[in-house]
Structure 1
Amino acid sequence: MARRPNDPQRRERILQATLDTIAAHGVQAVTHRKIALCANVPLGSLTYYFSGIEALVEEAFSLFTAEMSAQYQQCFAG
């Protein structure tokens, strides 16, 4: 897979791909390879940005809960 020059959204794409992979396969079936394929990034990018699969899943869930919390707050504030 060719390296994309200056790809500032790569980390965010990996996090979103993690959530998409969990939704499609379940958290028990998540692997680095599935996430890299979903995010369309080299496999090494996952270990560049995250110390391991646990850290990646944890940060993806944190991102998800923060986004959902903001949506709920906006919904109930109006």
Structure 2
Amino acid sequence: MTAATPKGERRRQALVEAAAGLLVDGGFDAVRHRAVAERAGLPLASTTYYFSSLDELVVAALEFHGNVEYENGKARLAALDGVEGDAAFTDLVLDLLLGPPTEEGDAEQVLLRYERLVATGRRPYLRPLMRRLSGQLHALLLEIFLASGRTWTAERVEEIIALVDGAVVNALIEISPDPRAAARRMLDKAMQPR
């Protein structure tokens, strides 16, 4: 269903943003009709009025969240300047792959992010969207590495992502996990000239 009026578009967008927030905060299980409506400050019936299913709402929420992260990454890359050094580029790469750091620490946020990525594999309806978002992310990471003075290929970017993912998963099983620090160590090593 589509919203035919500006008010309808605003309500639909509020539902999408609320669902995206719930997805980030609690994963797929947190996105329920009632929770989305409450977070958006709208009647419960609005979720089924603007979306034919919960799956459709989840797709819209993931797409919204992915596009916001992508646009934020593009804006940060445009603001960077090669003189800032590797640390600024590394921070940007980690923020794109792990999400921005939080005051409470990264372990829970990163765990939720990886749970979402893995759970996407069990939701075939999300695969086309996730392939598109993944392609955008890979292209942006390649731009970041090129802007940092590295003449890397798309294949090298995939290796870096796999390296960060492995470091994060290994860090998450530690007693006091610090996935961002583990990923930074691996990324710093990988960014050294070969």
TM range (shorter): 0.7 to 0.9
Larger Rg: 2
1:15 aligns with 2:16: yes
Q: Are the structure 2 counterparts of residues 67 and 24 from structure 1 closer, same or farther at C-alpha, using a change threshold of 3 Å?
A: closer
Secondary structure of 1:7's match? helix
Which residues of 2 match residues 1-78 of structure 1 at below 5 A? 7-8=7-8, 9-78=10-79
Secondary structure of 2:42's match? coil
Q: Give the aligned length.
A: 73
TM-score (norm 1): 0.79
- Distance in 2, Cα, partners of 1:26 & 1:60: 11
Shifted more, 55-64 versus 13-22: the winner is 13-22
Question: Which aligned runs of 4 or more in structure 1 are off by greater than 3 angstroms?
Answer: none
Contact 2:20 2:64 in 1 (8 A): no
* Root-mean-square deviation over aligned CA pairs: 1.6
Identity %: 30
TM-score (norm 2): 0.35
Unaligned runs of 5+ residues in structure 2 are: 1-5, 80-194
